[in-house]
Amino acid sequence: MIALTAAQIAEAVSGTLSSTLDPETVLVHVTPDSREVVGEGTLYVAKPGEHADGHDYIDAALAAGASAVLAERPTQDADGAAHPAILVADAVLAMGALAREVVRRIREHSPTTVIGITGSAGKTTTKDLLAALLSTQGPTVAPVGSFNGEVGVPLTVFRAALDTRYLVVEMGADHVGNIAYLCDVVTPDIGVVLMVGTAHAGSFGGVENIAKTKGELVEALGPDGVAVLNRDDGRVAAMASRTQAPVVWFSTEESGAAAAAEDVAAGRASGLSVARALTADAEERPVFDLQLGADLDAPRHAVRAGLTGLHHAHNMLAAAAAAQAAGMDPADIARGLDGLGPTSRHRMERSERADGVSIINDAYNANPESMRAALRTLATLGRSSGRRTWAVLGEMLELGDARIREHTLVGESVVRLNISQLLVVGAGARPLYIGAMNEGSWGDEAHFVDDVEQAEAFLAEALQPGDIVLVKSSNGVGLAALGDRLAAADVTPSTASPSDTTKETRP
């Protein structure tokens, strides 16, 4: 974080200093985790949580070298002396207020472009792509992993220095108003909306409220900003009427590209980012001609993705459009995207084992849309290679009353895509198994186990050389760790080719 005194932080967060904290104490690092205290200059945030209260770890943070504490109540050490603290009513809101002040000071110091990215799926991949592009142009800060909420966004801001040229912010939400709050913290110049799906539908109360919330990003943009919107998603496209900012469309569909070009010609949009001749290579990585500009006569640049899954073409186009809006040259964007792969873990992360088994770990997050996209990729890989495919699937969390129906529909999709083998993990995902069975998958094709340990033991016996295994669930289910263990399994190299061991289990 940029260097601030305790007094300056207290003023920014409307806090009060304890008598034991010197107002001139300089703080340069902020963390809500006592294990991440880096010594002198650290401000430890005593944040109450679902499972633990950060106030209980104040002594540990100070013992590790923290210089001060951001706390919601006065606390004392073992001798009864007050801890050196900035006292606030709400530690999380105080983090947001401090982040707002940091952004203000960075903007005051030097030109800075803030890009906000939201959507029901694809945020982290798009963030990674955009950060990789912009880092070639100047100092760039982007979230670690998927820091995208009321705590994660401030932590991203705190990593920025005064000379930060580009600040990329991922924005997640589970209630109406969440995105508006995050926009108030960082004041984005460019807003990217990827898609509206059914993730968190339970907490939102329906998909329309999801669309309402995602659109809060473009509503926060001023007339000098840029809204980057998915022309292929009707709910996202409708957000064009909710912003003062010029709109740049992105699209992978010919009809979407044509409509986007018409909007540009009519003055309803200022630019477009489209994929021409979109196909996939043998590893199901998108290949296309990237076209950026204000009309269909703009130059085209050949791009071959380093990401597995044709659905990533939308993420690439969104990153390209945002990079151009931030001032990057189209030819440089295309060169930067060419071959660019994932940088965050467990997003279609592919590993090849010595026995010829391929593991695709996409278990960081899951909703019905991302499940189907990953399954389509798995099915295509199986068809093109003749290899046996496995879908190892766990629960999609936070679907509310739609939980049973959505899991059932995904199970039906597994069968319709002709995935060779299905392993469903955990009681919460059992409707997925039932859906597959009812759609016509029975016998040796569909399997159910109670937990991750049973799944690991089952797969250790069932996998054959040449199999392609997709592991996918919501993060809280724990299948990401299963995918890691499967990829790292101590296996004997196979001399057999995939075709030697592959058998079709469904007519």
Q: What is the pLDDT of residues 402-424, one digit of tens each?
A: 899 999 999 999 999 999 999 99
Residue 299, phi-psi category: left (phi > 0), alpha (psi -120 to 50), beta (remainder): beta
Domain at 110-337, CATH from 3.40.710.10, 3.40.50.300, 3.30.980.10, 3.40.1190.10: 3.40.1190.10
Please tell me the predicted confidence (pLDDT) of residue 53.
Answer: 95
For residue 347, pLDDT beyond 90: no
Question: Residues 435, 412: contact at Cβ < 8 Å?
Answer: yes
For residue 504, pLDDT beyond 60: no
Show me where the domains of the chain are located: 4-93, 110-337, 349-501
Strands (E), 173-329: 190-193, 226-230, 247-251, 271-280, 286-293, 300-304
pLDDT bracket for residue 204 (50, 70, 90): low
For residue 159, pLDDT beyond 90: yes
For residue 220, pLDDT beyond 90: yes
Residue 343 CA to residue 347 CA, distance in Å, equals 9
Question: Residues 280, 291: contact at Cβ < 8 Å?
Answer: no
CATH 3.40.50.150 correct for 4-93: no
For residue 500, pLDDT beyond 80: no
Please tell me the predicted confidence (pLDDT) of residue 496.
Answer: 46
Given the structure tokens 């290949």, which residue do they identify? 287
If one counts every other C-beta atom within 10 angstroms of the C-beta of residue 267, the result is 8
pLDDT bracket for residue 200 (50, 70, 90): low
Kind of pairing, strands 286-293 and 389-393? unpaired
pLDDT bracket for residue 471 (50, 70, 90): very high
If one counts every other C-beta atom within 10 angstroms of the C-beta of residue 350, the result is 19
Domain at 349-501, CATH from 3.50.50.60, 3.10.129.10, 3.90.190.20, 3.40.1790.10: 3.90.190.20
In degrees and rounded to multiples of 5, residue 487 shows phi and psi of -65, -35
- CB within 8 Å of 423: residues ≥ 6 apart: 390, 391, 392, 393, 447, 448, 449, 455, 458, 459
Report angle CA 154, 160, 161 to the nearest 5 degrees.
145
Please tell me the predicted confidence (pLDDT) of residue 199.
Answer: 59
For residue 165, pLDDT beyond 80: yes
Please tell me the predicted confidence (pLDDT) of residue 72.
Answer: 97
Measured over the CA atoms of residue 117, residue 118, residue 119 and residue 123, the dihedral's sign is: positive
pLDDT bracket for residue 505 (50, 70, 90): very low
For residue 491, pLDDT beyond 70: yes
Residue 15 CA to residue 42 CA, distance in Å, equals 17
